[in-house]
Amino acid sequence: MNGSRASISQIDGQAMIARRDRFLGLLGTRSVMMGILNITPDSFSDGGKFFTLDAAMQQAKKLAADGADIIDVGAESTRPGHTPVAVEEELARLEPILGRLARSIDIPFSIDTSKAKVARRAVELGASVVNDVWGLQKDPAMADTVAETGAAVVLMHNRDNVDSGCDIVADMRSFFDRSLRLAANAGIPSARLILDPGMGFGKSRAQNFTALANLAALKDYGLPILVGVSRKSLLAGLTPVETSLVRTLAANLAAAANGASIFRVHDAADHVAAFKIFDALARR
């Protein structure tokens, strides 16, 4: 029995690596869409909508059919004022869906968590990427966990509180410098690292706009940049007539022009269509 379990684990590990490398291999070739799957009761946009296993699977299949390149699964809301979730509760929400995702849908998926134990279990169940909204800096075990599992990792900029007087670009660079030191010390190859400016996290509205407009200031890191602005209220009120989709598409296209290449979105089909045009024009 032990040999059988080891063999199955080895096969699962090979599948995870293959999916990870398929995802990483897309970066730099075109804009990449990360579909959002929140299995939470309290996320800001779709809390409770995909909380049941059947609803979550249906949404995952829809995201894949709509052209998402990777599905980002989260079981704890990270919106401002969210209620923290214990490791056990987060795992109880995740475990039923993750194994089925790996068996049923042939695209990579990532785990949106800042907890090392959750990240490790998610990778065991097939996740290829750890999307850490605290950039390896919240859980002291996260960097080593990512290194040991072989997952790729998104390092997102975050702050404990909003300081409207700080230079947000300098703050992002200082934060990323620390995250990258943690990654290097743990032995995570740079080819598996992605930066995220953390739109809507620990920033004033003006600082969010500054961060989005200055993505080029992060280019010298030589790493892919992910942006997550989908349906966020920080974009509201800029025009008299607007929808969350229009706002999100406009912001993501601006981010692409400034150097972003991965886009975390709720509306995968619309973004895939829009970015086919953007990429065709940008390549010319």
Active site (catalytic) residues? 232, 264
Q: Name residues whose C-beta falls within 8 Å of residue 204's C-beta, 6 or more positions apart in sequence.
A: 162, 164
Contact 207, 167 (CB under 8 A): no
Q: How far apart are CA 255 and CA 227, in angstroms?
A: 7
Contact 183, 155 (CB under 8 A): yes
Q: Residue 107 region, left (φ>0) first, then alpha (ψ -120 to 50), else beta?
A: beta
Q: How far apart are CA 218 and CA 236, in angstroms?
A: 26
Residue at token pair 């990654």: 183
Edge-to-edge order in the sheet of strand 109-112 = 193-196, 152-156, 129-132, 109-112, 70-74, 32-38, 262-265, 226-227
Backbone phi and psi for residue 263, each to the nearest 5 degrees, phi listed first:
-130, 120
DSSP-derived 3-state class of residue 68: coil
